[in-house]
């Protein structure tokens, strides 16, 4: 009998031992391995206060800065409750909340089911999570908040927005605090949230010197379906009123034909109103510079765009479109920064004749380095006097408008420099015809016409048939359609 009791005691002891061991392992996994609060999985032996005394961030909770931030967010969320965007029963998430001010404020006003995420956890208020990989299932939250202009600072704003929409329940509310307060940035922001409706935009005072003014944006997720982005399929860009405002601020066009275009360019470049110097471009999915007629890397990519164009700290991907094979080799070392398209931008996909003109009586200088090499152009116009030394090759042309439409969307920020030796009079109309023009934010365009010749005073070049007035018409049509175009030489 005693042996049976001893065996039973041993069995009970083993069961208890393994039960305790399993509990400890689970606790260690939840709290240590995942880096979460035990409250998140309802796995605390005792109910924790909002801020446990053992938390290493306790010094923050007693600081004046902490109190100021919590007071600010408490006021914001109280207002959300009064407007019906938030309730004490809302399951709430704060995205990119490094210290948990927002989460603490939510809990303080009675929204208990609240949690924050940041790349480094600050337990128990904030768990580990990336803004473009929110660690929760679809349709989880009734309310999502992102403050501190975090979406503006994100290198992947489209992924940031997509994850918030995914985790938000249908008819749930998402609220953002951003710095940008211009019309262009607001439209760019809304383009990121294609399945949400704009509820409110409010400009308020901030609490932090680094963000003294805040634009508060409130969105509501649609029950089903997606909001179509205006103009995605349109051939008319006139809807872009926010771009028209920028065009009106642009430097005036030079109405009279300049006698010395290069000198005029140097003077006028100081007056150029760059797109990115007038508005915030933070809410774009990609940032792209396309150099059409790029020649060598130093012609305008390295010498001008990389050094002078105001990029607002954004990384631009560069596309160099150049048909002249003499310039192709040097782009091999620029693969990471530049994508070379070794073709001619054209209105169709077809084989073309490509002429290199070396200018009147000009000899080729240092051909190995391409110094003094003439400009290449499609469909050459031969001079009856034979004044140009020409080299004609067969090259492949591609449909530039279709490439733009297949490669980019209105969520991208696209800047183009175009120097195509007269082909602009073919390319620009095709961009309008297909609607691809609506994808372009800014163009630096060199327009080619029958200029006065340097060699021969009083004579105009026979190289081009267009006149300066045709160039002005081209620039005017672009600006009327919301494209910020600058005269380039």
* Confidence check: pLDDT of 40 > 50: no
pLDDT band at 65 (very low <50, low <70, confident <90, very high): confident
Torsion angles phi and psi, residue 304, rounded to 5: -120, -60
* Confidence check: pLDDT of 3 > 70: no
- Residue length of the chain: 489
pLDDT one-digit tens code per residue, 81-119: 999 999 999 999 999 999 899 999 999 999 999 999 999
pLDDT one-digit tens code per residue, 267-283: 788 889 999 999 999 99
Q: Burial level of 163, CB count in 10 A (0-12/13-18/19+)?
A: buried
pLDDT band at 62 (very low <50, low <70, confident <90, very high): low
Q: For residue 321, what pLDDT is reported?
A: 96
Torsion angles phi and psi, residue 74, rounded to 5: -60, -45
CA distances from 238 to 99, 114, 189, 366, 412 (A): 45, 44, 19, 48, 18
Q: How would you classify the pairing of strands 388-399 and 376-378? A: unpaired
pLDDT one-digit tens code per residue, 286-318: 999 999 999 999 989 999 999 999 999 999 999
d(CA 139, CA 146): 17
Q: Which residues of 440-477 are buried (b: 16+ CB within 10 A; e: fewer)?
A: bbbbbbbbbbbbebeeeeeeebebbebebeebbebbee
* Confidence check: pLDDT of 74 > 90: yes
Please name every residue paired with 175 in a beta bridge, in sequence order, or none if there are none. 145, 218
Question: Domains of the chain by range and CATH?
Answer: 57-221 (3.40.50.150), 241-356+376-381+390-487 (3.40.50.720)
Q: Which residues of 284-294 are buried (b: 16+ CB within 10 A; e: fewer)?
A: bbbbbbbbbbb
Q: For residue 105, what pLDDT is reported?
A: 97
193-206 mean pLDDT: 94
pLDDT one-digit tens code per residue, 435-479: 999 999 999 999 988 776 666 666 677 677 888 999 999 999 999
Per-residue HEC secondary structure of the chain comes to: CHHHHHHHHHHHHHHHHHHHHHHHHHHHHHHHHCCCCHHHHCCCCCCCCCCCCCCCCHHHHCCHHHHHHHHHHHHHHHHHHHHCCCCCCCCEEEECCCCCHHHHHHHHCCCCCEEEEECCCECCCEEECECCECCCCCCCEEEEEECCCHHHHCCCHHHHHHHHHHHEEEEEEEEEEECCCCHHHHHHHHHHCCCEEEEEEEEEEEEECCEEEEEEEEEEECCCCCCCCCCCCCCCHHHCHHHHHHHHCCCCCCCCCCCCHHHHHHHHHHHCCCHHHCCCCCCCCCEEEEEECCCCCCCCHHHHHHHHCCCCCCCCEEEEECCCHHHCHHHHHHCCCEEEECCEEECCCEEEEEEEEEEECCCCCCHHHCCCCCCEEECCCCCCCCCEEEEEEEEEEEEHHHHHHHHCCCCCEEEEEECCCCCHHHHHHHHHHHCHHHHCCEEEEECCCCCECCCCCCCECCCCCCCHHHHHHHHHHHHHCCCEEEEEC
pLDDT one-digit tens code per residue, 250-265: 999 998 888 777 777 7
* Confidence check: pLDDT of 427 > 50: yes
Residue 220: Cβ within 10 Å count: 18
pTM: 0.79
Terminal CA-to-CA distance of the chain, rounded, Å?
Answer: 107
154-174 mean pLDDT: 95
Please name every residue paired with 213 in a beta bridge, in sequence order, or none if there are none. 205
pLDDT one-digit tens code per residue, 207-263: 988 899 999 999 999 987 555 554 455 566 655 677 888 999 999 999 888 877 777
CA 290 to chain centroid, in Å, comes to 15
Cβ proximity of 419 and 292 under 8 Å: yes
Where is pLDDT greater, at 371 or 159? Answer: 159
Task: List, in order, residues 6 or more apart from 56 with CB less than 8 Å away.
Answer: none
Residue 137: Cβ within 10 Å count: 9
**Structure-token pair, residue 341:** 């398209």
* Confidence check: pLDDT of 48 > 70: no
* Confidence check: pLDDT of 39 > 70: no
What dihedral do alpha carbons 120, 123, 128, 134 form, nearest 10°? Answer: -130
Cβ proximity of 292 and 420 under 8 Å: yes
Q: For residue 232, what pLDDT is reported?
A: 53
Average pLDDT value over all residues in the chain: 82
pLDDT band at 60 (very low <50, low <70, confident <90, very high): low
């Amino acid at each position: 009998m005693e042996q049976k009791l001893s065996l039973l005691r041993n069995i009970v002891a083993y069961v208890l031992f393994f039960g305790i061991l399993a509990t400890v392992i689970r606790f260690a996994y939840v709290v240590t391995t995942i880096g979460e609060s035990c409250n998140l999985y309802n796995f605390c032996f005792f109910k924790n206060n909002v801020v446990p005394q053992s938390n290493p961030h306790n010094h923050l909770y007693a600081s004046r800065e902490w109190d100021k931030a919590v007071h600010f967010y408490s006021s914001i969320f109280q207002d959300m409750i009064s407007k019906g965007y938030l309730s004490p029963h809302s399951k709430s998430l704060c995205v990119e909340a490094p210290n948990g001010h927002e989460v603490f404020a939510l809990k303080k006003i009675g929204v208990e089911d609240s949690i924050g995420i940041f790349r480094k956890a600050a337990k128990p208020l904030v768990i580990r999570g990336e803004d473009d990989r929110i660690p929760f299932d679809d349709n989880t939250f009734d309310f999502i908040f992102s403050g501190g202009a975090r979406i503006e600072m994100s290198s992947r704003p489209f992924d940031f927005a997509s994850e918030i929409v995914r985790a938000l329940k249908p008819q749930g509310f998402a609220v953002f605090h951003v710095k940008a307060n211009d019309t262009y940035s607001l439209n760019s922001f809304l383009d990121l949230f294609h399945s949400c409706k704009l509820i409110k935009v409010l400009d308020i005072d901030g609490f932090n010197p680094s963000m003294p003014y805040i634009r508060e944006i409130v969105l509501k997720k649609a029950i089903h379906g997606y909001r179509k982005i205006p103009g995605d399929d349109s051939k008319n860009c006139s809807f872009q009123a926010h771009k028209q405002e920028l065009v009106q601020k642009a430097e005036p066009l030079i109405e009279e034909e300049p006698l010395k275009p290069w000198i005029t360019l140097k003077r006028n470049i100081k007056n150029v109103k760059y797109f990115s110097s007038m508005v915030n471009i933070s809410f774009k999915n990609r940032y792209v510079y396309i150099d059409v007629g790029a020649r060598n890397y130093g012609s305008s990519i390295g010498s001008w765009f990389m050094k002078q164009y105001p990029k607002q700290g954004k990384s631009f991907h560069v596309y160099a479109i150049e048909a002249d094979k003499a310039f192709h080799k040097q782009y091999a070392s620029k693969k990471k920064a530049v994508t070379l398209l070794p073709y001619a931008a054209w209105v169709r996909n077809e084989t073309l004749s490509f002429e290199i003109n070396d200018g009147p009586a000009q000899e080729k200088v240092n051909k190995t380095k391409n110094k003094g090499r003439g400009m290449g152009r499609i469909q050459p116009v031969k001079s009856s006097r034979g004044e140009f030394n020409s080299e004609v090759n067969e090259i492949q042309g591609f449909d530039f408008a279709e490439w733009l439409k297949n490669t980019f969307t209105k969520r991208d920020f696209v800047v183009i420099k175009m120097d195509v030796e007269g082909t602009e009079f073919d390319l620009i109309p095709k961009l309008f015809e297909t609607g691809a023009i609506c994808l372009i934010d800014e163009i630096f365009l060199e327009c080619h016409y029958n200029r006065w010749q340097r060699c021969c005073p009083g004579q105009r070049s026979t190289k081009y048939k267009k006149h300066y007035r045709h160039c002005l018409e081209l620039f005017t049509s672009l600006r009327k359609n919301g494209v910020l175009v600058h005269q380039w030489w």
